[in-house]
Structures are given as C-alpha cells and as structure tokens.
Amino acid sequence: QVQLVESGGGLVKPGGSLRLSCAASGFTLSDYYMSWIRQAPGKGLEWLSYISSSSSYTKYADSVKGRFTISRDNAKNSLYLQMNSLRAEDTAVYYCARGELSPLDQWGQGTLVTVSS
Amino acid sequence: DIQMTQSPSSLSASVGDRVTITCRASQTISSYLNWYQQKPGKAPKLLIYATSNLQSGVPSRFSGSGSGTDFTLTISSLQPEDFATYYCQQSSNTPPTFGQGTNVEI
C-alpha cells in the first residue's frame, strides 16, 4: 500500500540546520509532484513547498523561501527538505504529502522539529 | 495569497447530529476546494476533493458542496469516529492555503 515515512526531525539550536527525508513506497514517486507541509504545536496546517516530478520546478512559501530547499531522488524513492537558518517559529511537525495544487491524497506520519537553545 | 476562513472554529455535537462546516475563500477558486480530517497526533486525511468528490474509502455520510468562494462540508449523521478537526484547503492558486480548522467535539 502507499506509504510515506518522514525522518530526520529532532532538536536543533536557532540558526542551525536539519535535513528531513521522506521515504515513499507503494507507488511510483516519479509520477507525482510532492509537497512539505508543517503544523506548529496546537496550530493549523501550513504549506511550505512543492517540487515537480522531475525536479524541474519548485515553489516555496514566503516564510521559508531562501532558507529551505526541497529536493527529491526518484531512484531512491525519496523526498527531502533541507532546512537552514532555523528559527524558534520553525518548531513544528513536518509532513510530506503526495500532490501539490492537486489534492494532497497521501500524507506521512510526520516528524517533529524543535528549534530551541 | 488566497485566505481561507472556516466557521465555526469549534462546535459541540452529539452522535447522530447533522453537522455543517463552512469555508470561505478570499477570492474565487472555482471548485478547487478540498477537505481534510485530522485526529489528535495523526496526519491529516483527505476526505473530499474538488468540492464534492468523496475520496476512496470515505463514508458516504460526508458530503461537500459550493463553488466560487463559499463551500460546505456536511456530516449527515455524526459518528464517534468523526470527532476530529477539519480543514479546508484551496488548490486553485499557489500557495495552496488552508483554513484555520474546525474542531468537532462532543
């Protein structure tokens, strides 16, 4: 069955970096755009970024533009989010999801990123 | 960016109740409106896409309607497993944006 599994979250100091991964299985990753969405503790959902199936096109939310980079390796069935210059307000559960402007029809379980000194 | 506003932010209901949640977009989004359900500690789950299309496996007590700027999610007879937070999301323009959520509680 379709599965998305995020990893790479953890505790990081302000100004630090972290790389999240999302392992896809049960479908052909290269057929789909993919997205990252986050949810701060007790808050709603915030779309962060999406990437086209061939990596030729990416888009970012203003809140992370210039700090976060989305990428993918279709051969490894993996999606990534490189997060630099992290701030306290980046503390959230980060989800990968299948789709972009299409409905997000499959989501991972999420990985928690905590930015704190 | 298109702003999505849900109402109410929370509601109390009982099993068997008919529940309606509304979502308003700050500009027209045609039928590019999706609904998600999220239970505590879990990832969101797609319920309805393109305003009124039920995602595979979603019970028929869920339905969606609307167009343009005003949309509705209806649960015809609330079941115990439906107590959750519901989010609308527009997929008309980048960035895709979500409503603030509606918490359906007992």
Measured CA to CA, the distance from residue A72 to residue B23 in angstroms comes to 33
Count of other CB atoms within 10 angstroms of residue B77 = 12
| CB distance A35 to A55 below 8 Å | no
**Residue A101 binned pLDDT confidence (cut-offs 50, 70, 90):** confident
- Measured in residues, chain B has a length of 106
Whether residue A104 and residue B101 make contact (CB cut-off 8 A), yes or no, is: no
Token digits of residue A81: 């989010």
* pLDDT > 90 in chain A, percent: 97
- CB neighbour class for B89 (10 Å; exposed up to 12, middle 13-18, buried from 19): buried
Q: How confident is the model at residue A106 (pLDDT cuts 50, 70, 90)?
A: very high
The confidence band for A115, taking pLDDT boundaries of 50, 70 and 90, is very high
Q: Is A41 on the interface with B (CB under 8 A)?
A: no
Q: Do A104 and B34 touch (CB under 8 A)?
A: yes
Mean pLDDT of A27-41: 96
Residue range B49-97, pLDDT digits in tens: 999 999 999 999 999 999 999 999 999 999 999 999 999 999 999 999 9
Torsions phi, psi for B63 (to 5 deg): -150, 160
d(CA A85, CA A69): 12
What's the mean pLDDT in A68-76?
A: 97
Which pLDDT belongs to residue A59? 96
Q: Per-residue confidence at A19, pLDDT binned at 50, 70, 90?
A: very high
Contact B55 A105 (CB under 8 A): yes
Structure confidence by residue, pLDDT tens digits, B1-17: 999 999 999 999 999 99
CA of B66 vs chain A CAs: smallest distance (Å): 17
- CB-based contact B78:B104 (threshold 8 Å): yes
Q: How many C-beta atoms lie closer than 10 Å to residue A107's C-beta?
A: 22
pLDDT in the model for residue A92: 98
Q: Is the pLDDT of residue B106 over 90?
A: no
What is the DSSP-derived secondary structure letter of residue B42? S
Residues of chain B numbered 37-66 and touching chain A (CB < 8 Å):
42-46, 49-50, 55
Residues A48, A58: Cα–Cα separation, whole Å:
11
